[in-house]
Chain A
Amino acid sequence: MPFIPHTDTDVKEMLAAIGAPAIDSLFDEIPASLRIQSLAGIPEALTEMEVNRLMQSRAQRDGRPLNFIGAGAYEHHIPAAVWAIVTRGEFYSAYTPYQAEASQGTLQLLYEYQTMMASLTGMQVSNASLYDGASALAEACLMAVRANRKSKSARILVPTTVNPTYLEVSRAIAEGQQLTFETVAYTPGTGTTAASAFNAYSGQDITAVVIQHPNFFGLLEDVDAITDWAHANGALVIAVVNPMSLAILKPPGEWGAKGVDVVVGDGQPFGVPLSSGGPNFGFMTTRMEHVRQMPGRIIGRTVDLDGKPGFTLTLQAREQHIRRSKATSNICTNQGLLVTAGTIYMSLLGASGLEQVASTCQRRTSELVAALTKVKGVKLAFAGPRFHEAVLQLDRKVSDVIEALASRGIIGGFDLSRRYPELGNALLVCATETRTDEDIAAYAKALAEVLK
């Protein structure tokens, strides 16, 4: 019996101790009319060898095409040490550290993670992670409503350069609590959001302003001016950032005169594989004054009975298992295993390693843009400063081009034409440090063939 250790003797002895004639009698409190006898639709069991063959064949069907999409999930080199440690049973098969004395490894790692994320984002405190970047933005908007006590409107302003899926997720999660999301258009020529675009809202009750930087197009926003506009108008500022970019970009804690109030994003670039989009981890950092409004697990350092330092879950009274219907969120788990990967990744790379990775990504994307815009029928949509993504405009329907590239082993980019019809046949491309000169040349050659 797969994964079940009982011998026939065990079963007999156990049933005798219970005083039950058979295992089936343990289910005698379930109404007989509801019982089922078998699960006809489930296939027969496979051995490990058989399941390995099956999964290898499924995996091979997808192969390993050359990837040039970012759009919220980025392919970076992952040091071998990261997942060798993450998949150690002591991390992999432990649970939420309710028994702190038996979970000091997980707890100390999370404390180190909180320290790293707070510093990277230029904020004072971090939680122990949320599900992903999109749901972290939703939680940040809910948090802003609690934290901005002067505002009664629960109105959130969101530039259209914020990842459109992040906005959809925020709506799905937060609209039940009467938050409203209003979009602010970007400047057509630049692909960035002008601070003056917010002037239409001056003097109104706005709870929070969201700024994604680099924005969904990969471009750098005027973060100082937008942050200052929001604070001058009584709104909190929520920054959505790619953590990798913070190795070279000014952290949100230093935007504008006062810095932002909440920072969220997806930690996937730090040691987490693409893996069809998950599991990733969402991060959230904030100012100390808002810590009690922050959702999710938080780890604190304290002392034990002997006065020696140790780590424990803290501020639990915010959470659902104590507050129930008045909790800051219904969130229960974090993404501990992925945070483990992220923390090891940050430790291996350090500040200078991250700077090298981020810088190389930016350079690679510039080279990609240069190579692809040489192809007839391709032009660059926005020329401003960017991190590691760019919007290209093609001379024909993007989805057809993507399919044609896929058949040549190249995942060419993210089709923007549905979300941003005003951009025409627009394609969002990305090259990280993992793309070589040869990779870029291969893409340019394939694109030239497709657009011929």
Chain B
Amino acid sequence: MSSIPADLKYLDSHEWARVESDGTVTIGISDHAQGALGDLVFVEVPEVGKSLSKGGAAAVVESVKAASDVYSPLSGEVIAANDSLGSAPELVNQDPYGQGWLFKIKPSNSAELGQLLDAKAYEKALEAEGH
């Protein structure tokens, strides 16, 4: 069973979002997602300053056999991207909720937060997928 921290919000497409104390939101992919993809060989993060809309493709993660778009759980402007993934994509495999974060945004519509799954609901979604 993969790890699903209780303090994060999720999309059923396997992204997580963490609201930081300053109101910004950090985004990554779940432990389940990294496990399903296998060893990542490439991660493409969005450019700082880019404006994202909820559900829009924001980043790309690639393993040898699969490539997957990462969707932004919220609308907002990218304020930071994890550039260390360029040379060390394995960080996403090793620490998906920590050093393997993908990007941070300044959300433009806080109401969208309420539409995300909590840990319990995400766990249910995984079960429904048959994992």
Whether the complex brings A and B within 8 Å at their CB atoms is answered yes
Give CA–CA (A318, B67) in the complex, Å. 8
Contact across chains for B69 and A317 when beta carbons are under 8 A apart: no
Q: In the complex, which residues of chain A have a beta carbon less than 8 angstroms from the beta carbon of B62?
A: 317
Q: Please report whether the interface of chain A is mostly helix, strand, loop or mixed according to DSSP.
A: helix
B64 interface hit (Cβ, 8 Å): yes
Q: In the complex, which residues of chain B have a beta carbon less than 8 angstroms from the beta carbon of A323?
A: 67
Give CA–CA (A326, B70) in the complex, Å. 13
Give the distance to chain A from B85, nearest Cβ to Cβ, in Å. Answer: 14
A316 interface hit (Cβ, 8 Å): yes
Give the distance to chain B from A136, nearest Cβ to Cβ, in Å. Answer: 24
Question: For window 55-74 of chain B, which residues contact chain A by CB distance below 8 Å?
Answer: 62-67, 69
Give the distance to chain B from A340, nearest Cβ to Cβ, in Å. Answer: 26
Q: Which residue of B lies closest to A318 (CB)?
A: B67
Question: For window 283-334 of chain A, which residues contact chain B by CB distance below 8 Å?
Answer: 292, 316-318, 322-323, 326
Give CA–CA (A329, B17) in the complex, Å. 33
Task: Sort A-B residue pairs by CB-CB distance and give the 7 closest, nearest first.
Answer: A317-B67, A317-B62, A323-B67, A322-B67, A322-B66, A317-B66, A322-B65
Q: In the complex, which residues of chain B have a beta carbon less than 8 angstroms from the beta carbon of A292?
A: 42
Could you list 16 further interchain pairs (A-B, Cβ under 8 angstroms) beyond the known A317-B42, A317-B65? A292-B42, A316-B64, A316-B65, A317-B41, A317-B62, A317-B63, A317-B64, A317-B66, A317-B67, A318-B67, A322-B65, A322-B66, A322-B67, A323-B67, A326-B67, A326-B69
18 A-B pairs in the complex with CB atoms less than 8 angstroms apart: A292-B42, A316-B64, A316-B65, A317-B41, A317-B42, A317-B62, A317-B63, A317-B64, A317-B65, A317-B66, A317-B67, A318-B67, A322-B65, A322-B66, A322-B67, A323-B67, A326-B67, A326-B69
Give CA–CA (A318, B60) in the complex, Å. 11
Q: In the complex, which residues of chain B have a beta carbon less than 8 angstroms from the beta carbon of A326?
A: 67, 69
Give CA–CA (A84, B65) in the complex, Å. 36
Q: Please report whether the interface of chain B is mostly helix, strand, loop or mixed according to DSSP.
A: strand
Q: In the complex, which residues of chain B have a beta carbon less than 8 angstroms from the beta carbon of A318?
A: 67
Give CA–CA (A316, B66) in the complex, Å. 8
Q: In the complex, which residues of chain A have a beta carbon less than 8 angstroms from the beta carbon of B64?
A: 316-317
Give CA–CA (A292, B63) in the complex, Å. 13
Q: Which residue of A lies closest to B68 (CB)?
A: A317
Give the number of chain B interface residues (Cβ < 8 Å): 9
Give the number of chain A interface residues (Cβ < 8 Å): 7
Give the distance to chain B from A184, nearest Cβ to Cβ, in Å. Answer: 31
Give the distance to chain B from A317, nearest Cβ to Cβ, in Å. Answer: 4
Give the distance to chain A from B34, nearest Cβ to Cβ, in Å. Answer: 15
Give CA–CA (A317, B69) in the complex, Å. 12
Q: In the complex, which residues of chain B have a beta carbon less than 8 angstroms from the beta carbon of A316?
A: 64-65
Give CA–CA (A316, B41) in the complex, Å. 11
Question: For window 38-85 of chain B, which residues contact chain A by CB distance below 8 Å?
Answer: 41-42, 62-67, 69
Q: Which residue of A lies closest to B57 (CB)?
A: A326
Give CA–CA (A317, B65) in the complex, Å. 7
Give CA–CA (A10, B130) in the complex, Å. 45
Q: In the complex, which residues of chain A have a beta carbon less than 8 angstroms from the beta carbon of B41?
A: 317
Give the distance to chain A from B109, nearest Cβ to Cβ, in Å. Answer: 26
Give CA–CA (A322, B42) in the complex, Å. 14
Give CA–CA (A318, B63) in the complex, Å. 11
Which residue, B41, B67, B69, has most C-beta atoms of chain A within 10 A? Answer: B67
Give CA–CA (A17, B12) in the complex, Å. 48
Question: For window 5-32 of chain B, which residues contact chain A by CB distance below 8 Å?
Answer: none
Question: For window 195-244 of chain A, which residues contact chain B by CB distance below 8 Å?
Answer: none
Give CA–CA (A127, B41) in the complex, Å. 19
Question: For window 401-448 of chain A, which residues contact chain B by CB distance below 8 Å?
Answer: none
Which residue, B41, B63, B64, has most C-beta atoms of chain A within 10 A? Answer: B64
Q: Which residue of A lies closest to B67 (CB)?
A: A317
Q: In the complex, which residues of chain A have a beta carbon less than 8 angstroms from the beta carbon of B63?
A: 317
Give CA–CA (A326, B64) in the complex, Å. 16
Give CA–CA (A292, B62) in the complex, Å. 11
Q: In the complex, which residues of chain A have a beta carbon less than 8 angstroms from the beta carbon of B67?
A: 317-318, 322-323, 326
Q: In the complex, which residues of chain A have a beta carbon less than 8 angstroms from the beta carbon of B42?
A: 292, 317
Give the distance to chain B from A362, nearest Cβ to Cβ, in Å. Answer: 44
Give the distance to chain B from A324, nearest Cβ to Cβ, in Å. Answer: 10
Give CA–CA (A326, B63) in the complex, Å. 15
Which residue, B42, B62, B63, B66, has most C-beta atoms of chain A within 10 A? Answer: B62
Give CA–CA (A88, B64) in the complex, Å. 32
Give CA–CA (A323, B63) in the complex, Å. 12
Give the distance to chain B from A290, nearest Cβ to Cβ, in Å. Answer: 13
Give CA–CA (A316, B67) in the complex, Å. 9
Q: Which residue of B lies closest to A292 (CB)?
A: B42
Give CA–CA (A326, B62) in the complex, Å. 13
Give CA–CA (A35, B62) in the complex, Å. 46
Q: Which residue of B lies closest to A323 (CB)?
A: B67
Q: In the complex, which residues of chain A have a beta carbon less than 8 angstroms from the beta carbon of B69?
A: 326
Q: In the complex, which residues of chain B have a beta carbon less than 8 angstroms from the beta carbon of A317?
A: 41-42, 62-67
Give the distance to chain B from A312, nearest Cβ to Cβ, in Å. Answer: 9
Give CA–CA (A181, B69) in the complex, Å. 30
Q: Which residue of A lies closest to B61 (CB)?
A: A317
